[in-house]
Amino acid sequence: MANRKKSLRPSRDEREPYITAINEALADGRIDTAEQAERVTAAEGAESFDTLDGLVADIPFHWEDETLEKEQRRLSRRRLLSGAAGVVLIGAASYFVTDRVSAGISGAADSSAESSAESTTDPAQEPTPEGSVPTDLVEVRLWQKDTMPTAIGAAADAGLTRFAAVRGSGDTLSVTGRTKEGTGKVVNFAKGSAPAVDDDDAGGTKFADAEKLRKVDLKKLHDEVASDLAEDVAEHSLDISWDLGSEEFVIGIRDFEHSFRWSLDTLKRLEDGTV
């Protein structure tokens, strides 16, 4: 932390490692969702590094070298601008903030060489410093216990305050909803890339309770019906959205032939059968 000037108000980029550490603490079961939300809000409004340090005093936290952080943010932003160029949109929805990316970063090249590399290199394949994780990189894999808290937490960090739908398959996952200002957005997750945020004209008109979404254990639900689904897990898809027939939010897991549904409110099986 030697490069920090404690008398200065933290910038948005300087708050990111703290927010990431808080989100990781939730994924590790060190804190609950209420405390995670409280700490993230406090970190976003912190007026000093002393306040930020207090928020992570009892959880694992490591401040990366300032030069390295800038390089990580540069790479992450290029991944984001690529939309999901290499986006294998995580069909793997979970694994909170990690499956830690390892590779080696080549030293600084001159501006012309860097410009050339940007035009020919797939951003999703760019190496990152060994043992490091860009602060805005969130990994989400489907059918894991922490899929939903990870995805909803990261979508909230990206600006969503109301959640209309969560959908995923194979290596892809998306969370659709609206921001505090009422703008429709969809947050797409992809393995090895930072979340990509796109406009969504609809944005949803019915919104699910965020805490109920966070508490959904997709691994448990998927394990319950996996033996009846296709052997290739890449064919399994997730859909959590408002159901007009039952007039409630429904969790759906299906393949090309079978469909299984649960009530989001009660997590009771509603129906299953052949598509």
User: Any idea which residue has 């600084």 for tokens?
Assistant: 108
- Confidence at residue 259, expressed as pLDDT on a 0 to 100 scale: 92
- Confidence at residue 272, expressed as pLDDT on a 0 to 100 scale: 58
Q: How confident is the model at residue 200 (pLDDT cuts 50, 70, 90)?
A: confident
- Confidence at residue 40, expressed as pLDDT on a 0 to 100 scale: 93
- Confidence at residue 158, expressed as pLDDT on a 0 to 100 scale: 86
From residue 255, alpha-carbon distances to 46, 90, 235 in Å are: 46, 17, 6
The pLDDT of 32-46, averaged and rounded, is 92
- Confidence at residue 92, expressed as pLDDT on a 0 to 100 scale: 38
Other Cβ atoms within 10 Å of 113 Cβ, number: 10
Task: Give the residue with greater pLDDT, 1 vs 26.
Answer: 26
User: Any idea which residue has 């933290």 for tokens?
Assistant: 10
Given a cut of 50, is residue 130 above it in pLDDT?
A: no
Per-residue b or e along 241-270, where b marks 16 or more CB atoms closer than 10 Å to that residue's CB = bbbeeeeebbbbbbbeebbbbbebeeeeeb
Write the pLDDT tens digit of every residue in 70-123: 544 554 554 444 443 343 343 433 333 334 333 333 443 344 444 444 444 444
- Confidence at residue 5, expressed as pLDDT on a 0 to 100 scale: 54
Task: Give the residue with greater pLDDT, 265 vs 234.
Answer: 265
- The percent of residues above 90 in pLDDT, for the chain, comes to 42
- Confidence at residue 123, expressed as pLDDT on a 0 to 100 scale: 44
Other Cβ atoms within 10 Å of 67 Cβ, number: 10
- Confidence at residue 6, expressed as pLDDT on a 0 to 100 scale: 59
Task: Give the residue with greater pLDDT, 109 vs 250.
Answer: 250
Write the pLDDT tens digit of every residue in 223-240: 999 999 998 888 899 999
Question: What is the overall mean pLDDT for the chain?
Answer: 76
Distance between CA atoms of 93 and 49, rounded to whole angstroms?
33
DSSP the chain: -TT--TTSPPPHHHHHHHHHHHHHHHHTTSS-HHHHHHHHHHHHH--SHHHHHHHTTTS---PPPHHHHHHHHHHHHHHHHTTTTT--BTSSB--TT-S-----------HHHHHHHHHHS-GGG----TT---TT----BTTSTTHHHHHHHHHHHTTEEEEEEEEEETTEEEEEEEETT--EEEEEEBTTS--EEEE-SS--SS-B-HHHHHT--HHHHHHHHGGGS-S-GGG-EEEEEEETTTTEEEEEEE-SSEEEEEETTT--EEEEEE-
Q: How confident is the model at residue 64 (pLDDT cuts 50, 70, 90)?
A: low
pTM of the model: 0.52
- Confidence at residue 120, expressed as pLDDT on a 0 to 100 scale: 44
Task: Give the residue with greater pLDDT, 202 vs 183.
Answer: 183
Range in 3-7, 109-113, 135-139, 160-164 with the lowest mean pLDDT: 109-113
Distance between CA atoms of 195 and 186, rounded to whole angstroms?
10
Range in 148-157, 197-206, 253-262 with the lowest mean pLDDT: 197-206
- Confidence at residue 101, expressed as pLDDT on a 0 to 100 scale: 33
Contacts of 235 (CB under 8 A, 6+ apart): 169, 170, 229, 255, 256
Given a cut of 60, is residue 164 above it in pLDDT?
A: yes
